[in-house]
Amino acid sequence: MNASVADRAVAVVFRREAGRVLATLIRLLGDFDSAEEARQEAFTAALEQWPAAGVPANPCAWLIQTGRNKAIDRIRRDAVFRTKILDREIASAEADADAVPEEADDSTFGDDRLRLIFTCCHPALSGEAHVALTLREVCGLTTQAVARAFLVSEETMAQRLVRAKKKIRDAGIPYETPEPALFNQRIHGVLAVVYGVFTEGYAVTTGTRLVDAELCGEAIRLGRLLDELLPANAAVLGLLALMLLHDARRPARVSRDGDVILLEDQDRTLWNQAKIAEGLVLVDRALSIPGQLSSYAVQAAIAALHVRARKKEDTDWPQIVGLYEVLLRLHPSPVVELNHAVAVSMVDGAARALDLVDSLAARGQVSEYHLLHAARGQFLQQLGRPLEAREAYRSALRLATLEPERRLLRARIDGLPPGDRA
Amino acid sequence: MQYLLLIYTSEAEMAARTASAIASLTAEYTDFTKGIIKAGQFKAGDRLKPTSSATTVRVRNGQMAATDGPFAETREQLGGYYLVEAKNLDEAIAIAARIPGAKHGSIEVRPTWPPEA
């Protein structure tokens, strides 16, 4: 094997094993910083040894073992530690480690990775910290890559990570999968972080940068990992399906000029069929788990009905209306109500949909939400009331901040016929 | 680890409670306190007299100044505390969530900072 081939093989192993190695080292060494340092040393040792000796049969166990040994060496060398502490730390590190690497199987690593995810997404940390820690520690992205994704400087991101790790240490956030009584509540927090990473990459704000596809890819990778670690969980399956079905449409949703292309106008031949096929299977599995109805699964089922239609005319709108009604019972929100109204307009017509939106607006919570006014404009236009439609679109335009959405609204206004038909 | 659980509630709201409401809240606190003593988690804890009884002390340039009242005006005031022993933050949060005041006020959970070994 020549050096560059070996380097590449090592790089592949690193990318695949980085999260697992770190997760177990954190448990063995008791804190993030020592674990990261140990992992770095283990990777350096691998780069030196593997090209000549070959990649070990269980590279993950090798890296953990090596990292642990390096950490213990470092603790021994470290003059700052007084003898008593030194002995205690070595004894505890050795006792813990004795139980691990050699006979470690995938379930041990899996448990550690789950611990790591729950720790990074602990409710006592801020939302910013959740995302930063998850991408850095679970996905193994560099600090620079995480900083770029969130449009902050590398220094700012590094400080955010340091603060978060300090909070984990100082507040005594456990490196544990939560007990059963807390599990359901906490898994929803984790899924919200994963979906947050996805939507950050999928947002209209940016959405076309290279890094956005990367973020969506990482979120899907996290979804797959959670599905592996928590099999047959309806919420996990539903979220993974939802992300795949959205991501499948990525190539068709923005024009070359950066304009948003609405679902109904997308070139359906550009959709990624492999992701759609996988997403559809996952939705069915999510919905078939008895006793667990997850709002992610319901949203994925809605996305599935959209991608199942070869032509937009084939879309099964009555079923979509039904699913939005299920979603409204599970998680009522103005956004869901608005989407429900749009689906209703496809089944019962714009007059009924306009009633729904007007009743939503009358409750006053969302009068500043531009999409509400945009939907009103659309319904009024369909009802042949262009003057009122123009008024509604103008309200939407006043509130919308994203340039692609504003262009879309201006195009709608320009496309209106002059005067009322009535 | 040890955590200080600081109980913030509205003094105005507490003052407006009926005698029977106060009695039932006191009973809830007694039950809760007995529970954490039995579980070996209790280290210390007390109610505090209202902020109207508070004095704020500062020393600046060697000059001591004691003034009436609490340091800051807030919607909720520190009304009591528990010092508890807990395995980790999750356990401390679980204890905090059982404090009767958590239902109408809020509990700040702070790890203590013991002197370095």
Give per-residue pLDDT as tens, B55-68.
999 999 999 999 88
Of A85, A172, A182, the CB nearest to B88: A172
Higher-confidence residue of A74 and A286: namely: A286
> Among A49, A78, A104, where does a domain finish?
A104
Give per-residue pLDDT as tens, A6-44.
677 778 888 888 888 999 999 998 888 889 999 999 999
A174 and B87: CB-CB below 8 Å? Answer: yes
* Mean pLDDT rounded to a whole number for chain A: 87
Q: Which amino acid is at A52?
A: A
**pLDDT given for residue A79 in this prediction:** 55
Sole residue written with tokens 């899996």: A110
Model ipTM value: 0.85
CB-based contacts of A415, cutoff 8 Å, min separation 6: none
Alpha-carbon gap: B97 to the closest alpha carbon of chain A (Å): 12
Question: Does residue A203 belong to any structural domain of this protein?
Answer: no
How many structural domains does chain A have? 2
**pLDDT given for residue A179 in this prediction:** 85
Q: Which of B88, B90, B93, B112 to mutate to test the interface with A (most CBs of A within 10 A)?
A: B90
Candidates 3.40.50.2300, 3.30.70.1060, 3.30.1300.30, 3.30.470.10; correct CATH number of B2-111? 3.30.70.1060
CB-based contacts of A169, cutoff 8 Å, min separation 6: A31, A32
**Chain A CA closest to residue B86:** A172
Q: Could you tell me what percent of chain A has a pLDDT over 90?
A: 57
Give per-residue pLDDT as tens, A100-122.
444 455 666 778 989 999 999 99
Does the pLDDT of residue A278 top 60, yes or no?
A: yes
Domain boundaries, given as residue ranges, for chain B: 2-111
Give per-residue pLDDT as tens, A78-95.
755 555 555 565 566 555
In CATH, what number is assigned to the domain containing residue A358? 1.25.40.10
- Which of A175-189, A337-351, B34-48, B98-112 is predicted with the least confidence, judged by mean pLDDT? A175-189
Which residues are paired to B9 by β-bridges?
B77
Does the pLDDT of residue A422 top 50, yes or no?
A: no
Domain containing A392: what range? 316-422
Which chain B residues are Cβ-neighbours of A85 within 8 angstroms? 117
Q: Are B51 and B69 in contact (CB under 8 A)?
A: yes
Which chain A residues are Cβ-neighbours of B89 within 8 angstroms? 122, 124, 171-174
| Rounded Cα gap, residues A25 and A31, in angstroms | 8
**pLDDT given for residue A106 in this prediction:** 61
Question: Does residue A128 belong to any structural domain of this protein?
Answer: no
> Among A55, A71, A104, where does a domain finish?
A104
Which chain A residues are Cβ-neighbours of B92 within 8 angstroms? 172
Average pLDDT over residues B10-37: 95
Of B3, B89, B111, the CB nearest to A174: B89
Alpha-carbon gap: A412 to the closest alpha carbon of chain B (Å): 48
Question: Does residue A29 belong to any structural domain of this protein?
Answer: yes
* Contact status of A12 with chain B (Cβ, < 8 Å): no
> Among A104, A138, A173, where does a domain finish?
A104
Confidence of residue A364 (pLDDT cuts 50, 70, 90): confident
Q: Which amino acid is at A382?
A: Q
Question: Does residue A243 belong to any structural domain of this protein?
Answer: no
